[in-house]
Structure 1
Amino acid sequence: MEMTIKEVALLANVSTRTLRYYDQIDLLKPSRVNDAGYRFYTELELDQLQQILTYRKLGLALADIQTILMSPKYDVSIVLKEQERQLLKQRAEIDRSLTMLRHTLKNYQGGITMSQEEKFKYLKETEINANEEKYGPEIRQKYSDEVIDQSNRKYQNLSEADYHEMQETEKQLDQLMITYLDEGDDRLRQQIYETHKKWLCYTWPSYSKNAHFGLAQMYLADDRFAKYYNNKHHKYVEELVNIISEFTC
């Protein structure tokens, strides 16, 4: 028995656009496509779709699902264990955020009084979570989970004095960049590089020129980074990357 793409979409509660995309990336091919271009699916494809949707609910990436389906002897437990690790990590982060949120709520309601240390800890956790949500997948792919986790821990463990010094270092970097971009004083280039390096070292587990250069390339490649910096000056990212490249290559 064959079903049209609309019938399959309705049955599986997915969009026809999703099914077409799965076909496009060779994740789920229809059993046949007629001369008019209509896709038809059999029970075999429905079983495959059920597997795909199950793995998606578990949070697996499409590339991992494709590997599993195309390799019958592939050890699925490897992917599932890694996904379990990621989910447990996310749950721990959510639990920490919920604890701090409830603590803060009680503070505002007059039930308890948060110390400055507790407020500061909550501030850093909020910033880490926001950064993970915005840039997490890209930076973790580039630098590995281990490196980013170490960086987050280092940031979380910053003293209040170091935290404020880090903020001041970023302001100093902005001032140097704006002055350089407005006046074109090449004598500022090394100072800009050193200031950016200093700012990174507040959170990086260890410094390397290769990693610094790689981050600069990400500034160029990712529109979100470019938008953030170019709001300060329209040539900010371009020139900052040029300066970093000069001293790291």
Structure 2
Amino acid sequence: MYSTGKLSEISGVSSRTLRYYDEIGLLKPSFINESGYRYYDDNEVALLQQILFYKERGLDLQTIKEIIYRKDFDLYSALEEHLVSLEEEKKKIDRMINSVKLSIKSLKGEYNMSDKEKFEVFKKNLVDENEKNYGKEIREKYGNDSVDESNRKMLNMSEEDYNMFKELEENILTLVEKCVKENLDLDSKEAKELANMHQKWIKMTWNKYSVEAHKSLAMMYIMDERFKEYYDRNIEGCADYLSMAIENNL
């Protein structure tokens, strides 16, 4: 059993923060004595460790609270999930470190780094991130062969193609936000340009393109919260508008 001060000492979390966690219902003490002192047992210590793990991974306190107080929350499974996530992050960091080292050697004349190598790490990280976030769904929908071929196409992009791909992605986000902000009609030239721009972007990674498959993907932008969160990050309604623009103009 730990007092607030003792738990603060062993965890590195300030007493003030522990009190705040109590106030917002994130980490309640086991009991509070008559003098108002908070005490925490092993269960709260384990939960605090989870809170810190999730914070290190960039989650906000409200999201962490929702996760650790779910009925199906399991400590062992949570630790396994942390391990997988951290190992994936380590791979990304190791790749970045290796790329930077090769770039330094190249500048010193000790290694001839090709243009393809300079961008390989960014493309690989992008493929891994897409697999992590959407891999299960898109593989079920389009099949392993199709997704694997799309990943290969991404990894084999030239520097020029990769830069164009990223520029298109940013332009799509900018244009869809403009359309929503200005409440533009789905038959407007901007909406048509948006659909065409997204089609060009998709074709850069898909091995076999079809309008039907494109529209099916656009429906996922509405139905899957992760897609909605990505497109609606600045202005709500962008995912819905993009999906409807594609349906209306292709």
Same fold? TM cut 0.5: yes
Residue 145 to residue 115, structure 1, CA distance change in 2 (3 Å): same
Residue 58 to residue 22, structure 1, CA distance change in 2 (3 Å): same
Cα distance in 2 for partners of 1:122, 1:160 equals: 12
1:24-68 deviation line (CA, Å, top 9, x unaligned): 325433412658xx4421xxx24233323444565585555445x
Cα distance in 1 for partners of 2:67, 2:48 equals: 13
Cα distance in 2 for partners of 1:48, 1:40 equals: 14
Determine which structure has greater relative contact order: mean sequence separation of CA pairs < 8 Å that are 6+ residues apart, divided by chain length: 2
Residue 56 to residue 144, structure 1, CA distance change in 2 (3 Å): farther
SS in structure 2 of the partner of residue 28 of structure 1: coil
Cα distance in 2 for partners of 1:7, 1:89 equals: 34
Corresponding residue number in structure 2 for 1:52: 47
1:211 counterpart (212, 215, 220): 220
Cα distance in 2 for partners of 1:2, 1:39 equals: 11
SS in structure 1 of the partner of residue 157 of structure 2: coil
Deviates more, 1:209-218 or 1:23-32: 209-218
Q: Is the 8 A contact 2:172 2:194 kept in 1?
A: yes
Counting only pairs closer than 5 Å after superposition, residues 147-166 of structure 1 correspond to structure 2 as 155-160=154-159, 162-166=161-165
Cα distance in 2 for partners of 1:97, 1:53 equals: 31
Residue 190 to residue 28, structure 1, CA distance change in 2 (3 Å): same
Q: Is the 8 A contact 2:21 2:27 kept in 1?
A: yes
2:24 is aligned with 1:29: no
User: With structure 2 as the length reference, what TM-score do the two structures score?
Assistant: 0.59
Q: Is the 8 A contact 2:177 2:238 kept in 1?
A: no
Q: Which runs of 5+ in 2 are unaligned?
A: 58-63, 140-146, 208-212
Q: Is the 8 A contact 1:30 1:39 kept in 2?
A: no
Residue 243 to residue 147, structure 1, CA distance change in 2 (3 Å): closer
User: With structure 1 as the length reference, what TM-score do the two structures score?
Assistant: 0.59
Corresponding residue number in structure 2 for 1:40: 38
Residue 155 to residue 55, structure 1, CA distance change in 2 (3 Å): same
Cα distance in 2 for partners of 1:239, 1:51 equals: 40
SS in structure 2 of the partner of residue 29 of structure 1: coil
Residue 159 to residue 115, structure 1, CA distance change in 2 (3 Å): closer
2:193 counterpart (191, 207, 217): 191
Cα distance in 1 for partners of 2:38, 2:52 equals: 25
Corresponding residue number in structure 2 for 1:231: none
Corresponding residue number in structure 2 for 1:222: 233
Percent of aligned pairs with the same amino acid: 24
Cα distance in 2 for partners of 1:65, 1:179 equals: 38
Residue 33 to residue 26, structure 1, CA distance change in 2 (3 Å): farther
Cα distance in 1 for partners of 2:2, 2:98 equals: 52
Shift of 1:160: 4.0
SS in structure 2 of the partner of residue 104 of structure 1: helix
Corresponding residue number in structure 2 for 1:229: none
Cα distance in 2 for partners of 1:105, 1:186 equals: 49
Q: Aligned partner of 2:233: which letter?
A: D
Residue 198 to residue 105, structure 1, CA distance change in 2 (3 Å): same
Corresponding residue number in structure 1 for 2:105: 106
Residue 165 to residue 10, structure 1, CA distance change in 2 (3 Å): closer
Q: Aligned partner of 2:31: which letter?
A: S
Q: Is the 8 A contact 1:106 1:112 kept in 2?
A: yes
Q: Aligned partner of 2:197: which letter?
A: T
Q: Aligned partner of 2:29: which letter?
A: K
Residue 27 to residue 248, structure 1, CA distance change in 2 (3 Å): farther
Residue 84 to residue 146, structure 1, CA distance change in 2 (3 Å): farther
SS in structure 1 of the partner of residue 28 of structure 2: coil
